[in-house]
Structure 1
Amino acid sequence: MELLAGIETIAAEMVKVRHHLHQNPELGFEEHETSKLVAEKLTKWGYQVTTGIGKTGVVAKLVTGAGPAVGLRADMDALPILEENNFAYKSQKEGLMHACGHDGHTATLLATAKYLAENPHFKGTLNLFFQPAEEGLGGAKAMIDDEVLSTFPCDAMFGFHNIPGLPVGHFGFRRGAAMASSDRVTVKIQGRGGHGAMPHLAVDPTMIAASIMMNLQSVVSRNIDPQHMTVISVGSIHGGKTFNVIPDAVTLQLSVRNLNTETQNLVEKRIKELIHFQAQSYGGSAEIDYIRSYPILYNSEKETDFAENVAKDVLGESKIITDFPAMTASEDFSFFANECPSSYLFVGNGLSGPHGCSVHNPKYDFNDDLIAIVANYWAQLVYRFCPQ
């Protein structure tokens, strides 16, 4: 792969920015210093910059003439995880770290922004979306609710995520459902408390919770087409305070993932039915708060074809995965994709060490080599989408 002249120099500068962001992680909707840094650099490079979109989001606009409008997006938020790496730029904030690579996504888009500002060999409008709060808080939706796509309309939008376990710089593309929906379910099981030595006088919500937890998996194994995908995970269970008291109530928190809307509807129906009937069968009751948090991320076929063809020309076909497996993780780029023709692609972060271990892991780290690789790709994608 041959990089555009000057990309490597800019990427080296943005590696330093990435390390600074890694040292100073900020949680969703709290990315005040990150947004300030991003806005200052973009303003310096000549972009029209708007801040405070979706609370802490930043949008940069560069117009080079009449032509199509293309959007590129990066997320900025970190996670509440205690970092276990020991390199020089490890997190300086106890209990917070960039464990998903959003520091790298931001630095990569900044590298792209600087290169295109210095080499504006395209005719049209470039909109750069620096999004807050991807990690479960719906920062993309917050930006859309602030009418970001009305203010900065795009003919198409593109984004990427690094993928540990995939060779560095290999690009994966998938048409249609690429990442799963994310539903959050809170279940309060109401029983009747009592003495642990006299369970017959109580209605034990822990017994109801255990039965629900086991039987939830029958929804996956007996209600869903085996060729489809559903994940139901119990992330937390809370009830009681001591060993000899049966509590009045137990609370469960579930994560539910689907790659098909019809399946998602069926799963929600069956989960609710199963929970209520299980609780009633033991003499208790249940309250269910079922929230559809992130929708399924659908990649538009036309935009994905375009993005993949650019990658083949830039990287060579040997580094392209044309039918990348759909992921059961979720991504709130899906909110943008619901409003605008879009494609979200996957880029290999590496096979070993901190680059190869899973995201959301205290030993994970974004691979700095991707900054030049992806910035080079983004620049060439913009040139082809908005030809002179």
Structure 2
Amino acid sequence: MPIVNRVADILPEVIAWRRDLHAHPELGFDVHRTSTFVVERLREFGCDQVVSGVGKTGVVGVITGRPGNGKSRTVGLRADMDALPIEEMTGRPYSSKHEGLMHACGHDGHTAMLLAAARYLAETRNFAGNAVLIFQPAEEIGAGAAAMLEDGLMDRFEIDQVYGMHTLPGLPVGAFGIRRGPVMAATDTIDVRIEGRGGHPGLPHQCIDSILVGAQLILALQQILAQNINPFDSAAISFNEFQAGSTHRVIAQTAEMHGSIRTLTPEVREFVIKRIREVAEGVSRVTDAKIDLDIQAADAVVFNQDVQTEFAIKAATDVAGEANVIETPPMLGGEDFSFMARARPGAFVWCGNGDSAGLHHATYDFSDEAIQFGTSYWIKLVENTLAA
């Protein structure tokens, strides 16, 4: 029986898992209920190893296939488990039971699909080598992958190559998106503190308005993108938080701004950060305000290696057909799977979520119709890559 049909047989149960996870979202590393849920399922399925506490609250399951010729090979499959600090507005019967938290990025679906694949692989073992199932915490804060790697993920489980998958609104259910090379952006956080001179709004000439300085800085930094970056390259600078002042009648002494920088190549990243520092220094000189910058690396570029991309394309094609495997452009979202794909050769694919709300939106919901396709992709990837 084709894999998609066999997965369809267990689909009601997998949907129930997904909706249970959706109703109980957890943040960052505090995914204790979710981790326990994963551990219990993996043990039920008969995985050869189930290890919890990898990277604080990460879980790893190992399934050993049939004996093969030569050196044993090991493939890592990664799903993320954490949710977001967003108040859910879907109105679903299985909506979040925790105020201010929701699965707005599909991690409930990612976890359920990898669990379903684990169940199938543990039952059939139609491969030679080891399938390592990686359930990662703290993707949304860009810390979980690094924590699992620091705990020896790759060496401990002898992983040779690693793969990731993410839901994508706007891509039809049953379709997959993939490309060679850069897939998602390197992200850096930028924190700015401006020290001006507060005072009376009727005496602006005696003050240095930190709000005005911040506004000037934001506009000036956008000129880097408009005038300094090759239009065929990609970069983004955004400030998503601006805090200053406390009343109508006082010019603010200080302002703080927080945002992100996103780039697709090391060269562009280095140039953009250099120009940000130069522009901030210029605005400081012009306004007489003190401007302090703190730029910290978050995620690296997610880069698909050629060999692993071919394996991913083959698996997606086997499941969905050639017409439904689409080359997608790179995106400026960040993904800490990038650190795993730097530690071992890897590839990252998009799984269609259909005409849904966008990621990180209060009305987003993972499409249960996508489960059989994503699960089948994982299975075919293992069976093809570790062909007996």
Return the match for 2:259 from 254, 257, 278: 254
User: Is the deviation greater in 283-292 or in 147-156?
Assistant: 147-156
2:51 aligns to what?
50
1:357 aligns to what?
357
The CA deviation string for residues 92-140 of structure 1, in whole angstroms up to 9 with x for no partner, is 1111100000000000000000011111111101100000011123211
The whole-number CA distance in structure 2 between the counterparts of 1:49 and 1:313 is 29
Return the match for 1:308 from 304, 309, 313: 313
| TM-aligned CA deviation for residue 331 of structure 1 | 0.7
Return the match for 2:187 from 182, 191, 213: 182
1:336 aligns to what?
340
* Conserved 8 A contact 2:235-2:261: yes
| TM-aligned CA deviation for residue 237 of structure 1 | 0.7
1:290 aligns to what?
295
Q: Secondary structure at the match of 1:246?
A: coil
Partner amino acid for 1:62? I
Task: Note if 1:171 corresponds to 2:172.
Answer: no
* Conserved 8 A contact 1:10-1:115: no
5+ residue gaps, structure 1, are none
Partner amino acid for 1:241? S
5+ residue gaps, structure 2, are none
The whole-number CA distance in structure 2 between the counterparts of 1:382 and 1:309 is 11
User: Is the deviation greater in 109-118 or in 192-201?
Assistant: 192-201
Q: How many residues align?
A: 383
* Conserved 8 A contact 1:68-1:385: no
The CA deviation string for residues 62-116 of structure 1, in whole angstroms up to 9 with x for no partner, is 2234521011000000001111111211111111100000000000000000011
The whole-number CA distance in structure 1 between the counterparts of 2:213 and 2:251 is 12
The CA deviation string for residues 146-197 of structure 1, in whole angstroms up to 9 with x for no partner, is 1111111222111111111111111111111000111100000111111121
Q: Secondary structure at the match of 1:197?
A: coil
The CA deviation string for residues 302-332 of structure 1, in whole angstroms up to 9 with x for no partner, is 10012102222332111111x2111111111
* Conserved 8 A contact 2:4-2:373: no
The whole-number CA distance in structure 2 between the counterparts of 1:209 and 1:278 is 9
The CA deviation string for residues 259-292 of structure 1, in whole angstroms up to 9 with x for no partner, is 1110000000001111122022111111111011
* Conserved 8 A contact 1:76-1:131: yes
* Conserved 8 A contact 2:142-2:335: no
The whole-number CA distance in structure 2 between the counterparts of 1:300 and 1:11 is 32
1:37 aligns to what?
37
Kindly report which structure 2 residues correspond to 1:266-277, keeping only aligned pairs within 5 A, or say none.
266-277=271-282
Kindly report which structure 2 residues correspond to 1:68-83, keeping only aligned pairs within 5 A, or say none.
68-83=73-88
* Conserved 8 A contact 1:80-1:96: yes
| TM-aligned CA deviation for residue 9 of structure 1 | 2.3
2:330 aligns to what?
326
Partner amino acid for 2:36? K
User: Is the deviation greater in 146-155 or in 342-351?
Assistant: 146-155
Partner amino acid for 2:55? G
The whole-number CA distance in structure 1 between the counterparts of 2:142 and 2:163 is 21
Kindly report which structure 2 residues correspond to 1:54-69, keeping only aligned pairs within 5 A, or say none.
54-64=55-65, 65=67, 67-69=72-74
The whole-number CA distance in structure 2 between the counterparts of 1:105 and 1:72 is 11
The whole-number CA distance in structure 2 between the counterparts of 1:238 and 1:81 is 20
| TM-aligned CA deviation for residue 5 of structure 1 | 5.2
* Conserved 8 A contact 1:185-1:255: yes
Return the match for 1:212 from 203, 212, 217: 217
| TM-aligned CA deviation for residue 248 of structure 1 | 1.6
* Conserved 8 A contact 1:10-1:114: no
| TM-aligned CA deviation for residue 4 of structure 1 | 4.8
User: Is the deviation greater in 306-315 or in 212-221?
Assistant: 306-315
Partner amino acid for 2:386? C
Task: Note if 1:28 corresponds to 2:45.
Answer: no
Task: Note if 1:278 corresponds to 2:283.
Answer: yes
Q: Secondary structure at the match of 2:159?
A: coil
| TM-aligned CA deviation for residue 2 of structure 1 | 4.5
The whole-number CA distance in structure 1 between the counterparts of 2:354 and 2:168 is 8
Kindly report which structure 2 residues correspond to 1:137-148, keeping only aligned pairs within 5 A, or say none.
137-148=142-153
Q: Percent same amino acid at aligned positions? A: 42
Q: Secondary structure at the match of 2:353?
A: strand
